């Protein structure tokens, strides 16, 4: 109970450890509940989940834990892509569809992304203990509506401008997402390429810039990383890649397997998979598509166009065409029950810090 940071106290957490939201089926109710029951904060990544399925998933989490947990969404506006940009992307993707034995001139997806407004309404109605978001700021009105329902609101920043904007809109805490992080970059002010700031440099700058608790994310894999984050002034660590191989995680078996085989240079940031910069294990698809990565339509259009392709690749065990998001710390991810990851990180950080942490 020694690492009682400001955020840990606000949420009644035993450990200042957040299992980061990870869209793509990783954050099963079992994973979220295991982390929350262990005294950390589990997060359900709901970005690619329909409002109806969000309700079912939250009910499943509530059936497994009475502890706080978070629900996470991507802040997205509806898109109407130009048919020519869709045709351009499809032409580039055709060779992969042929390789996988798929239809090359398939009809466009029924929807480019889940409707954010409808997802938000479902989450507001269900009022989980914590709401977190990335890719944008939800605005002061939505923030106030959540807070009025007793929901603690968290936004994601990759630079100081974003952190200040989120604070001004009334959020309770900000995730400072460093360049090491696996998955999508949250950047929404300025170019993503300019906000690849390492966690070590970003966290203290964000801590100095705002007055609400800061959650460090990116490359934090164990108690050493957690202790470092707390020493930099963070109130908690949000760990994603560290939970990808957890026993309860819904990560594809080939993805779990690949994490056990890669080295420190294996990940890269690419725009070619989804139309938004994201870090994952370098693949043949990423290498071959690198010359066109900046020309692909913006998220969610490219993401929608590659969804069936990636799913088929996963089905066929074609790892060169699958996407396996992961952070720079991936070789340190271990196969363990999630509760052990939380408890070990917290105990190790406490031993390193060697004293009661009266943190920010």
Ligand X SMILES: Cc1cc2nc3c(=O)[nH]c(=O)nc-3n(C[C@H](O)[C@H](O)[C@H](O)COP(=O)(O)O)c2cc1C
Instruction: Please provide the size of the chain in residues.
Output: 360
Alpha carbons within 13 angstroms on the beta-carbon side of residue 320 total 9
* Residue 40 interacting with ligand X (CB under 6 A): no
Opening angle at CA 74, ends 272 and 255, nearest 5: 55
Closer residue to ligand X (CB): 20 or 269: 20
- By CB under 6 A, which span of 33-41, 235-243, 258-266, 267-275 interacts with ligand X? 235-243
The string over 307-332, giving b where at least 16 C-beta atoms fall within 10 Å of a residue's C-beta and e elsewhere, is ebbbebbbeeebbebbbbbbbbbbbb
User: Based on CB atoms, which residue is closest to ligand X, 33 or 326?
Assistant: 326
Residue among 242 and 314 whose Cβ is closer to ligand X: 242
Task: List residues bridging with 73 in a β-sheet.
Answer: 133
Q: Is 217 in the site for ligand X (CB under 6 A)?
A: yes
- Per-residue x/- mask for ligand X, residues 70 to 109, rule CB under 6 A? --x-------------------------------------
Please provide residue 12's backbone torsions phi and psi, each rounded to the nearest 5 degrees: 70, 35
By CB under 6 A, tell whether 24 contacts ligand X: yes
Let me know how many helices (H) and strands (E) the chain has, helices first.
13, 11
**Which of 303, 299, 273 is CA-nearest to residue 286?**
273
Q: Whose Cβ is closer to ligand X: residue 90's or residue 169's?
A: 169
Dihedral sign of CA atoms 45, 47, 53, 55 in order: positive
The 10 Å CB-count burial string (b at 16+, else e) for 112-128 is bbbebeebbebbbebeb
Nearer to ligand X, 42 or 219 (CB): 219
Binding mask 138-167 for ligand X (x = CB under 6 A): ------------------x-----------
Check if the beta carbon of residue 252 is closer than 8 Å to that of residue 314.
yes
Contact between 331 and ligand X by CB under 6 A: the answer reads no
314: contact with ligand X by CB under 6 A = no
**Is residue 177 a contact point for ligand X (CB under 6 A)?**
yes
Residue 220 contacts residue 329 (beta carbons within 8 Å): yes
Nearer to ligand X, 21 or 39 (CB): 21
At closest approach, how far in Å is the CB of 357 from ligand X? Answer: 20
Q: Please, which residue, 25 or 139, has the CB nearer to ligand X?
A: 25
Using rule CB under 6 A, residue 323 touches ligand X = no
Nearest residue to 326 (alpha-carbon basis) of 278, 274, 285, 290:
278
Count of chain residues binding ligand X (CB under 6 A): 30
Q: Look at strands 183-184 and 278-281 and give their pairing.
A: antiparallel
- CB nearer to ligand X: pick between 38 and 216: 216
In this complex, which beta carbon is closest to ligand X, that of residue 16 or of residue 21?
Answer: 21
Binding segment toward ligand X, per CB under 6 A, in 78-86, 178-186, 257-265, 305-313: 178-186
Among 61, 176, 272, 326, binds ligand X (CB under 6 A): 326
State how far the Cα of 71 lies from the Cα of 58, in Å rounded to an integer. Answer: 8
Q: Does 183 bind ligand X (CB under 6 A)?
A: yes
**Counting contacts by CB under 6 A, is residue 325 touching ligand X?**
yes
Nearest residue to ligand X, scored by beta-carbon proximity? 240
Q: Going edge to edge, which strands form the sheet with 278-281?
A: 183-184, 278-281, 267-270
CA dist 156 and 163 (Å) reads 7
Q: Compute the least distance from the CB of residue 220 to ligand X, in Å.
A: 6
Pairing of strands 69-74, 42-45: parallel
Peptide bond into 300 cis (omega under 30): yes
Query: If binding is defined by CB under 6 A, does position 21 make contact with ligand X?
Result: yes
As measured in angstroms, the least distance from the Cβ of 135 to ligand X is 8
Chain contacts with ligand X (rule: CB under 6 A): 20-24, 26, 45, 47, 72, 134, 156, 177, 180-184, 217-220, 238-242, 325-327, 329
């Amino acid at each position: 109970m020694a690492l009682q940071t400001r955020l840990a106290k606000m949420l009644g957490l035993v450990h200042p450890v957040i299992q980061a939201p990870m869209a793509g089926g990783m954050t099963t109710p079992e994973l979220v509940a295991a982390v929350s029951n262990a005294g950390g904060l589990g997060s359900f990544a709901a970005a690619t989940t329909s409002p109806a399925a969000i309700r079912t998933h939250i009910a499943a989490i509530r059936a497994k834990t009475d502890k706080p947990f978070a629900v996470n969404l991507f802040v997205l506006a509806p898109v109407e892509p130009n048919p020519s940009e869709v045709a351009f992307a499809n032409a580039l993707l055709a060779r992969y569809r042929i390789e996988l034995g798929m239809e090359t001139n398939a009809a466009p997806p029924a929807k480019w992304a889940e409707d954010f407004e409808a997802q938000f309404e479902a989450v507001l109605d269900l009022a989980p203990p914590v709401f977190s978001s990335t890719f944008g700021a939800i605005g002061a009105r939505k923030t106030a509506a959540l807070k009025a329902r007793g929901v603690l609101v968290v936004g994601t920043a990759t630079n100081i401008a974003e952190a200040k904007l989120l604070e001004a809109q009334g959020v309770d805490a900000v995730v400072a997402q460093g360049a090491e992080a696996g998955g999508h970059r949250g950047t929404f002010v300025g170019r993503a390429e300019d906000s690849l700031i390492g966690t070590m440099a970003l966290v203290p700058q964000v801590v100095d810039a705002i007055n609400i608790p800061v959650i460090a994310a990116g490359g934090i894999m164990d108690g050493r990383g957690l202790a470092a984050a707390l020493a930099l002034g963070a109130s908690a660590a949000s760990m994603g890649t560290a939970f990808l191989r957890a026993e309860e995680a819904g990560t594809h078996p080939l993805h779990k397997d690949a994490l056990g085989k890669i080295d420190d240079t294996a990940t890269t940031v690419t725009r070619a998979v989804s139309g938004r910069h994201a870090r994952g294990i370098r693949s043949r698809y990423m290498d071959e598509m690198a010359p066109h990565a900046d020309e692909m339509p913006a998220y969610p259009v490219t993401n929608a166009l590659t969804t069936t392709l990636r799913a088929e690749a996963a089905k066929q065990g074609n790892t060169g065409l699958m996407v396996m998001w992961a952070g720079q710390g991936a070789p340190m991810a271990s196969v363990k029950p999630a509760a052990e990851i939380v408890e070990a990180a917290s105990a190790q950080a406490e031993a390193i810090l060697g004293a009661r942490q009266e943190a920010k």
